[in-house]
Structure 1
Amino acid sequence: MSYWSDLPPELLDLVATTFDTPSDTRHFRSVCSTWRSAIPRSLPTFFPPIKFLNSDVHHCDLRLTKHSFFHISLSFDNDAPGWLIKTEEHNPGVFHLFNPFSRTLIKHLASNLPRKLDLTDFKIRELGYEYVLRNVTNVDFYNMEHEKVAVTFLNSNHVNDYVILSTHNTGKLLMYQSNVEAWTFLDDYTLGYDDRSIFVNDWSLHYVDVVEFNGTFYAVTNSGRTVAIKVVDSSVKVTLLKNSIIGGDKKCLVKLADDLLMVDLYTDTTPGLVKVHGVEIFKLDKEEHKWVLVKSLGEHAIFLSNHSSFAAVGLKGCKGNCIYFHFKNLENKDFGCPEIREGSSDEMDNFAWKSDEVGVFDFENGFFGKLEEYLEDSQLFSWPPPDWITSARMI
C-alpha cells in the first residue's frame, strides 16, 4: 500500500471537494508539503480597501472583512461542553472577538480570558461565516456595515478575482466586480421581470437578504420574490425563481449542509416593534428552481439574528429541529411572541444580553419556548466565558 503522502493528485482533489469550511482546507494543507502543494490555499482573509462607488467626493473606502462562527469544546466527545463565538482575523493569527449574534466587537475582554489559547487543548469546529463591508475612512455618508453581504470567487486559482453582492438601504442590490474595480446598482430592468416576462416595479423589489450558494447569488425580498444571479466573465445572468413565498413578511436565507433554506417569519407590526407569531421554512429545489415547504430540520438547529444566520448540528445541549432567535428584544414579557426591535443599530448591537433575550421556536411542535427549556444547561452562549475556557493553558 502506498504511503499516505504519495496519494495521487486526482484523489486529493476528490477529498478536497468534500470540505465544508476554509478551516477544513487549512487543516488538510497542514499535513505535509505534498498535500499543501496539491490543494490551492484557502480563500483570502484580508482584502484591500475598496473605493465605494468610485466616488472622489467623500473619499470613502470600504474593507471587506470575514467573520467566522466557531464552536469550541474540550474534546471530540459530543457530550463535552461547548462555547459559541464569532471572530475576525485582524492580523495573521490575531483575532477580534464578537458577539456571535451581532456585529458588536467585544472591546473589554474578561480579565481571566486567556489572550492566547493552545488549540491542541480544544476541538474547534467552524460552523459558518459572513462577510461585512466596513467603512475604513470614518465617513458616515456611506455606512454599509449593517447590510447583508455575499461573496463569490470566480477563479479558485486567482483569489483576487471575486464579486460582492450587497443589499442597500434603498432596497436595491449593489454589485462589485474586482476585475473592473467598479460598483453597480442592479437596476429594475435587470431584476424587475416576472416569470411571464412582464416588468414589475413596486415595493416588492425591496431586497432584504443575499447569500452565495454553490457559486450563485440568491437575493430575496420581504414579499418572497427571489432571484438567482450568476456572474460569468463579467456578464450578469439573472433568473427569477418560479414561485414567490408571499406568506410571512420577514425573510432570512440560511445555508444548511448542501441545501439553501428560506426562513419565513410571520409578524405583527406596531411602531418600532415587530412580534413574530409564526414560522415557515422552505428549501430550494435546485432542479425545478423553486421553493419547497420543509416539514422538519432533522437534527439541525438554525440561529438567526438581525445580522447573522447559520445552521449547525450536534452541539451539546442544543436541541435539533429548532430555530434560536436573538433579536435583542424579548424582555421576557411575552415569550410566546419573540420580538424584533427596530430603530437604533447601536441599541440592537448592545452586547449586554442575557439568556432571556434568546428565543426558541420548536419546529416539530410549532410553538415558541424559553431558551432554558431547549439548551439543557449548556454554556453555549455564556458570557463571561465558561470556566474551562478561562482556566485553559496559555501559550
Structure 2
Amino acid sequence: MSRRRNVSWADMPEELLIPIVDRLENRHDILHFRSVCKEWRRCVSLSLLSNKRVLSTLLPHKLRTTNPPLLKEGASFKYADLYGEKPRTTSLILVTSSIFLVKPIFNPKLSPWLVTIEEVNPGKVFLRKPLSRSVVKERLWDFPKLLDLSRFEVEEMGKIYSLRSDDEPNYLFEEEHKVVLLANPNDCKRELTIDDYTAFVLYNAGSIAAINLGTEKVQQVFLKARKFDDIAMFKGKVYAIDRYGILYMIDRVDNASSDRFKMVQIVKDRFYSPIERKSRLFESNGELYLVRKGMVSRPSLKNKSMGLRIYRMNHVENNWEELESIGEDKILFMAPDCCFFAQASDFIGWKGNRIVVHSTDSFRVRCQSTSCIKNHDWDDYDSDLELMMEPKGRLSIDVYYFEDVLFFPANLNQAYRDVFWPPPRWLSTSDTDDWLAEQQCQRGPWWNRQW
C-alpha cells in the first residue's frame, strides 16, 4: 500500500490561493491567511486590505431605494418642509460601529481607553466622540497613523447599527434613532448575506419600521396610540418597550417565513409615574435589563431623589424585578444606542456600582453642586479641578453613583477622564518609562485639550 505523501501548505499552487483570497470578506481573515507562511504572504498583497470591511462582513450597506418611505418621515424631510426647501434625493447607508476597550499589555497600571469606531466606507473608519453619535472632526496631531494591536489587549464591548445619509455620511438619518438586525429564516446551508436580514428601525419619536434588506420592503410595526422608547435583540428576537413600560416581542405573522410582523405583549407591568417616561432595554449575559429614570429612595437618603432605576426580567413570572445594586465589581455604560456592563477592575481608579451616561442623554439628571459632592468626602473627588470646569473643555460624560443617587461630572476626576478623551499617549509609544516621565509636560494641562 502506497504511503500518503505529506504536502506543505506553502506548496499550494498560486492558481488555487488567489480564488480563496477573493472569497475572504474582511481584513481579519486576510491577515490570518498571510500569517500562514512566506509564500502565502507573497501571493497576497497588503493592498487587498484597503477595500475590505473592518468591523463587519456585512456592513456598510447602501440601500438601493432612493428616498425610501422611511426617509420621508425622518428629520431631513421634516426640516426641509419647515423651511420651505425641496428635500434632496438621497439614499440611506446602514453602518456599524463598535465600542472597544483597549488596554496596554506592557503596563497594566495605565488607564485603558474606551473608544468607538465607525465604518462608513469599507476599509475606512472614523472615531466617534466618547459614548455619543458624533464623529470626531478635529485633527489629532499626535494620534498614530498605524496601530500595532499586538501591543494591546482589545475587547469589543458593544456593537451599534445606525443609518446615515449617502450624500452626507457624517450626518445621521435622524438623531434619535436606533437599528437592530434580525436574521430571516434560511432553509439553505449557505452563509447569510445582508439580503437575509431585516432591519428594525426605531425613529420618528417612537415609531418602529421593519425593512427587509433583500427586497427593501418597509412595514410599519405599531400598536394603536403607542409610542416606543427602545428596541433590543434578546435571544434571537426583537423586543420593544413603550412609554408606559410595557414590554412587547415583535413576532412574525402567520408563520416563521413571513416577512410581516406583529406585536405580542410579554410583560403586563406598567409604570404609571409621569416622571418615569423614558426606558432603555439591553441584553447582557443572557438576561434582559431595563433602565428607567425616576424618583429613587434609599435608606441613607432623607428624601427621594431623581435618579436611575434598573430592572431585570424574570422569565418565569414574566415581570420586572428591580435591582438594589449593580454589583461592586460592575460598571454600566449607557451610550445613546447601546448599553453594556464592564468589570470595575479593568478601570484604574474606578469603583463598581456606577453608571456612566452621556451628559446630553435623556437619562442624565442635572448634576448636583460641587458642594454636595464634597460633603460626601469621596476619595475620587479632585478639588483642584473644580474651578477649571469650563464649558469649552467639558467632557460631556457623567458618572452616576448608584448607592448615593448622585451624578458626578467625569470632567472633575482624572481617572474618569483618562478612559475617554483625548486618546492616551501610550498608543504611540513602546517605552512605558518615557511615557510616564513625559506625559505631563508633553500633554499639557487638561483644560487646553480638545474634546
Q: TM-score, normalised by structure 1?
A: 0.70
Distance 2:213 2:157 in 1: 27
**What are the residue-to-residue correspondences of 1:330-341 with 2, within 5 Å?**
334=369
Is 1:166 the equivalent of 2:201?
yes
Is 1:282 the equivalent of 2:311?
yes
C-alpha contact (below 8 Å) 2:398/2:410 kept by paired residues: yes
C-alpha contact (below 8 Å) 2:207/2:228 kept by paired residues: yes
Partner of 2:267: 242
C-alpha contact (below 8 Å) 2:231/2:281 kept by paired residues: yes
SS at match of 1:260: strand
Question: C-alpha deviations, 1:169-203, integer Å up to 9, x for none?
Answer: 15221111123321111133xxx4xxxxxxxx3xx
Is 1:101 the equivalent of 2:127?
no
Distance 1:157 1:48 in 2: 20
User: Larger % of strand: which?
Assistant: 1
Letter of the 2:58 partner, please give it. Answer: P
1:236 Cα deviation after fit: 2.1
The structure having more radius of gyration, on CA atoms, is 2
Distance 1:170 1:250 in 2: 12
Q: Which of 90, 94, 97 lines up with 1:67 in the alignment?
A: 97
Q: Which of 311, 321, 324 lines up with 1:292 in the alignment?
A: 321
SS at match of 1:103: coil
Letter of the 1:244 partner, please give it. Answer: D
Partner of 1:387: 425
**Structure 1 residues 377 and 105 mapped into 2: Cα distance closer, same or farther (>3 Å)?**
closer
Question: C-alpha deviations, 1:130-156, integer Å up to 9, x for none?
Answer: 1111111459xx943531221122358
Is 1:157 the equivalent of 2:157?
no
Q: Which of 39, 46, 49 lines up with 2:63 in the alignment?
A: 49
Between Structure 1 and Structure 2, how many residues are aligned?
325
Question: C-alpha deviations, 1:23-76, integer Å up to 9, x for none?
Answer: 9xx68x94999xxxxxxx965232132532288996431111011001111118
**Structure 1 residues 100 and 230 mapped into 2: Cα distance closer, same or farther (>3 Å)?**
farther
- Worse-matched range after superposition: 49-58 or 160-169: 49-58
**Structure 1 residues 42 and 254 mapped into 2: Cα distance closer, same or farther (>3 Å)?**
same
Distance 1:297 1:240 in 2: 27
User: Larger % of helix: which?
Assistant: 2
Distance 1:381 1:124 in 2: 15
Question: C-alpha deviations, 1:328-361, integer Å up to 9, x for none?
Answer: 4888664679xxxxxxxxxxxxx96634x42222
Letter of the 1:186 partner, please give it. Answer: V
Letter of the 2:191 partner, please give it. Answer: N
**Structure 1 residues 320 and 230 mapped into 2: Cα distance closer, same or farther (>3 Å)?**
farther
**What are the residue-to-residue correspondences of 1:90-169 with 2, within 5 Å?**
90-137=120-167, 143-154=173-184, 155=186, 157-160=191-194, 161-169=196-204
C-alpha contact (below 8 Å) 1:78/1:315 kept by paired residues: no
C-alpha contact (below 8 Å) 2:248/2:263 kept by paired residues: yes
**Structure 1 residues 352 and 166 mapped into 2: Cα distance closer, same or farther (>3 Å)?**
farther
Partner of 2:233: 212
Partner of 1:359: 398
**What are the residue-to-residue correspondences of 1:228-377 with 2, within 5 Å?**
228-231=249-252, 232-233=256-257, 234-246=259-271, 247=273, 248-266=276-294, 277-298=306-327, 299-313=329-343, 314-317=345-348, 318-328=350-360, 334=369, 354-355=394-395, 357-371=396-410, 376=415
1:77 Cα deviation after fit: 7.3
**Structure 1 residues 330 and 389 mapped into 2: Cα distance closer, same or farther (>3 Å)?**
farther
Distance 2:282 2:106 in 1: 26
**Structure 1 residues 380 and 241 mapped into 2: Cα distance closer, same or farther (>3 Å)?**
same
Q: TM-score, normalised by structure 2?
A: 0.62
**Structure 1 residues 217 and 303 mapped into 2: Cα distance closer, same or farther (>3 Å)?**
same
Letter of the 2:266 partner, please give it. Answer: L
Partner of 2:449: none
Q: Which has the higher contact order (CA 8 A, sep 6+)?
A: 1
1:260 Cα deviation after fit: 1.9
Letter of the 2:141 partner, please give it. Answer: S
C-alpha contact (below 8 Å) 2:160/2:337 kept by paired residues: no
Distance 1:260 1:392 in 2: 41
1:110 Cα deviation after fit: 1.3
1:238 Cα deviation after fit: 2.6
Give the root-mean-square deviation of aligned CA atoms: 3.8
Q: Name the % identity.
A: 22
Partner of 1:223: 244
C-alpha contact (below 8 Å) 1:135/1:145 kept by paired residues: no
Q: Which of 167, 175, 180 lines up with 2:210 in the alignment?
A: 175
1:290 Cα deviation after fit: 2.9
Distance 2:416 2:61 in 1: 40
**Structure 1 residues 249 and 159 mapped into 2: Cα distance closer, same or farther (>3 Å)?**
same
**Structure 1 residues 152 and 55 mapped into 2: Cα distance closer, same or farther (>3 Å)?**
closer
Gaps of 5+ in 2: 1-25, 37-54, 73-86, 296-304, 374-390, 432-451
